[in-house]
Chain A
Amino acid sequence: MEILTENKDDFFVIKIVGRLDASTSNDLEEKVLEAIEDNGVTNMLINFDELEYISSSGLRVLLVAAKKLKVKSGIIKICGMKSHIREVFEIAGFTPLFTIEDHC
């Protein structure tokens, strides 16, 4: 998995490339916590264009991010979700917790 970050239009963008499972979710968690806790990010856009796979380990990191941004009255959006990943979100009951946009 690869993580690419950039600042764009008031949002801190995190692009996840590859597969997000228990072996890679710690890397994402580090990036997310560094942005929110050290760099004061309040608006986050997670780009799923090139995310191929997610397990509960990845979902858990997104939930941590949502929780931390909620406290700061921030925004968390996810864009470019592939249909099989959207299905995992639906099954897990995660869809209502995020603003989900089809295109990034």
Chain B
Amino acid sequence: MSKPNSNSELIVSSSTDNLSVIRDFIRNAAENAGLSNEAIGKITLAVDEACTNVIKHAYNYSPDGEINIAANVKKSKFIISITDFGKSFNPEAIPDPNLKESIKQKRVGGLGMFLMKKLMDEVEYHTSSGKKNQVILVKYLA
């Protein structure tokens, strides 16, 4: 069992089959950080959404990509970074979903990102063009 200040890391291929492995990893890391069950549920869903977006948008459903998930505790914050090496996308270009409109239209876009913002205290995106994309998710421990 890891200690609250230790880092833990998981590297998986970009297949939706790995989402359950990813959720188990995050659940363990969040439990070790002493988070409440409610917070753990929210963090797990947010990480699932981030990784689903990576599989869909960065790797276009190809299972050959790599997703690197790291969790650590720093200054009363539980910080998760999710890194991929696929196509970058501009999260600012994706508006929050409009459910009234979505019920008329075929697709509902941006629901995963909308949930991530609601579930976490901080969500940040970093891209170094053509190299890697990173999503940082933060939950306050207090």
Which residues of A come within 8 Å of B, CB atoms? 19, 21-23, 53, 55-57, 59-60, 63, 66-67, 70, 84, 87-88, 91-94, 97
Contacts and interface: CB of A to CB of B under 8 A. Distances in A.
A66 B41 CA distance: 26
A97 B102 CA distance: 11
A92 B19 CA distance: 20
Contact of A23 (B19, B45, B102, B103): B19
A55 B118 CA distance: 13
Contacts of A94: 99
A56 B99 contact: no
A55 B114 CA distance: 12
B98 to A, nearest CB: 10
Chain B: interface secondary structure? Answer: helix
Contacts of B48: 21-22, 55
A57 B108 contact: no
Interface of B: 15-17, 19-20, 23, 38, 41, 45, 48-49, 52, 55-56, 99, 102-104, 107-108, 111-112, 114-115, 118-119
B95 to A, nearest CB: 14
15 contacts: A22-B19, A22-B55, A23-B15, A23-B16, A55-B112, A56-B115, A60-B107, A60-B108, A63-B103, A63-B108, A67-B104, A70-B103, A84-B41, A91-B118, A97-B103
Contacts of A70: 103
B137 to A, nearest CB: 15
B15 to A, nearest CB: 8
Given A84-B41, A88-B45, A91-B119, A56 B111 contact: yes
A23 B17 contact: yes
A92 B103 contact: no
Contact of B114 (A21, A57, A66, A92): A92
A19 B19 CA distance: 11
Top 7 nearest A-B pairs (CB, nearest first) are A23-B16, A56-B111, A56-B112, A22-B16, A22-B52, A91-B118, A67-B103
Contact of B115 (A23, A53, A91): A91
A21 B112 CA distance: 11
A48 B106 CA distance: 24
